[in-house]
Amino acid sequence: MPNLKLQKISTKSQARAGILTTRRGKIKTPFFMPIGTVGAVKTLTYEDLEKLGAQIELSNTYHLMLRPGADYLKKVGGLHKFMNWQKPILTDSGGFQVFSLSKIRKVKDDGVEFQSHLDGKKYFLTPEESINVQLKIGSDIMMVLDECVGNPCEYSVAKTAMIRTTAWAKKCREFLNKKIVQAKNKTAQPLLFGIVQGSLYKDLRLQSAKELKELNFDGYAVGGLAVGEDAKAMYKVLDLVCPELPKDKPKYLMGVGKPEQIVEAVKRGIDMFDCVIPTREARHGRLYEFKNDNLNSKNFYQTCNLLNQKFSRDHKPINANSKFEILRKYSKAYLHHLFKIKEPLAIRLATLNNLEFYLDLMSKIRQDVERGEI
């Protein structure tokens, strides 16, 4: 039975609105996942995330494996209990660290050897172990282990990584199937997503999508984007890949992105997003705010650099329409001051603002899909 129920499909684009069912609840699509890499969204509590309206959060297999450790998390009842978050969690497989931690890892056909950035200890992450760690974490949506390469990339490198990713995906699928057979409760199982790789090469992307479809995953991610290519190249890959993936399965664009990129990706059939932009930009004093409600316009939002001196006397609220009283009552001038004196409260306020913007953006997109405007 499909886990994605489509409620509205646009007549103007490939955009759709639906409900994704997980073992810890239903999620309205399209949606954005705040990133809590090591079990925490920086400066926020999970009560904050509840009030923001977050439906799901994302954590990272590799980093949680190092600290506090998968066995510890299993012992205390999983990541949900550890951080008091009862809604769904998606865990990346550690595949992105193949790209981001390239200086401290070695990729082999049977897995990846990492040298911990914490203490130098070596870890060998196989496809099976990646799934095993995610099971111990208690993930609701698990990702297969993949090899992510940067763009631009030589064809031979992209092809080797794509073939390896498919082989690992098969091992992940087989390992999880065995675990489900062995499980006492076979009705409440996590979802497993395959990841389409192939860099910017048409034949590799099509081959990856075809082979992953044959493994019948619960959902499909498009990986290896937002890693060096421009937006036009990204959209070209989405235009190619999305129609090749099952219509009744969720589509996830990993690590993307800017607000206008999210809108464009939804128009191409993407249902799920995550990105560090709202929280990372917040830490650097940049705020996101809407200029208008026309998401089809080029300038529906703007960013404000609160470090700019012009905001030192700007007594308008951080966000007059926020659901958070502190964002309605504190001024941009005060937030500018907090950044200048390096007060941690500055990052918390900016993070609340930016995640509220991103989650409100997803609500606006869904409404526009339902109204036939996207």
Query: Which burial class, exposed, middle or buried, applies to 216 when counting CB atoms under 10 A from its CB (0-12, 13-18, 19+)?
Result: exposed
pLDDT digits over 148-164, tens only?
A: 999 999 999 999 999 99
Instruction: Calculate what percentage of the chain has a pLDDT beyond 90.
Output: 93
Q: Which of 358, 368, 365, 366 is nearest to 34 (CA)?
A: 358
Same domain, yes or no: 221 and 239: yes
pLDDT value at residue 273: 98
User: Could you please report the per-residue DSSP string of 290-342?
Assistant: ES-S-TTSTTSEEEEETTSGGGGG--SBS-TT-SSHHHHHSBHHHHHHHHHTT
Same domain, yes or no: 154 and 204: yes
Question: What are the catalytic residues?
Answer: 92, 274
DSSP 77: T
pLDDT: is 188 or 233 the higher one? 233
Asked whether the beta carbons of 353 and 319 are under 8 A apart, the reply is yes
Same domain, yes or no: 285 and 260: no
Q: Which of 30, 35, 63, 55 is nearest to 354 (CA)?
A: 35
Same domain, yes or no: 230 and 213: yes
Q: Which of 345, 359, 197 is nearest to 275 (CA)?
A: 359
Mean pLDDT computed over 53-58: 98
Q: Which of 216, 242, 275 is the last residue of a domain?
A: 275
Two structure tokens written together for 46: 């999970």
Same domain, yes or no: 356 and 265: no
Same domain, yes or no: 207 and 245: yes
Same domain, yes or no: 254 and 143: yes
pLDDT band at 64 (very low <50, low <70, confident <90, very high): very high
pLDDT: is 120 or 193 the higher one? 193
pLDDT band at 51 (very low <50, low <70, confident <90, very high): very high
Calculate the alpha carbon distances from 40 to 52, 59, 73, 189 in Å: 15, 8, 14, 24
Q: Which of 275, 307, 331 is the last residue of a domain?
A: 275
Identify the CATH number of the domain in which residue 58 sits: 3.20.20.105
Give how many domains the chain has, as a whole number. 2
* Averaged pLDDT score across all residues of the chain: 96
Same domain, yes or no: 84 and 213: yes
Instruction: Give the number of other Cβ atoms within 10 Å of residue 72's Cβ.
Output: 12
pLDDT digits over 284-294, tens only?
A: 999 999 999 99
Same domain, yes or no: 291 and 264: no
What range defines the domain where residue 144 resides?
4-275
Mean pLDDT computed over 171-195: 91
Pinpoint the alpha helices (H) of the chain. 46-52, 61-66, 70-75, 79-83, 95-100, 127-137, 155-182, 202-213, 231-241, 259-267, 277-283, 325-329, 332-340, 345-371
Two structure tokens written together for 166: 């498919």
Same domain, yes or no: 350 and 372: yes
Q: Which residue has the tokens 């639906």?
A: 18
pLDDT value at residue 185: 76
Residue 112 and residue 74: Cα distance in Å, rounded?
Answer: 23
Residue 192 and residue 5: Cα distance in Å, rounded?
Answer: 17
User: Could you please report the per-residue DSSP string of 150-172?
Assistant: -SS--HHHHHHHHHHHHHHHHHH
pLDDT value at residue 2: 73
Asked whether the beta carbons of 114 and 104 are under 8 A apart, the reply is yes
Residue 46 and residue 225: Cα distance in Å, rounded?
Answer: 29
Same domain, yes or no: 250 and 289: no
Asked whether the beta carbons of 4 and 232 are under 8 A apart, the reply is no
Same domain, yes or no: 150 and 254: yes
Instruction: Give the number of other Cβ atoms within 10 Å of residue 93's Cβ.
Output: 29
pLDDT band at 1 (very low <50, low <70, confident <90, very high): low
Q: Which of 259, 275, 291 is the last residue of a domain?
A: 275
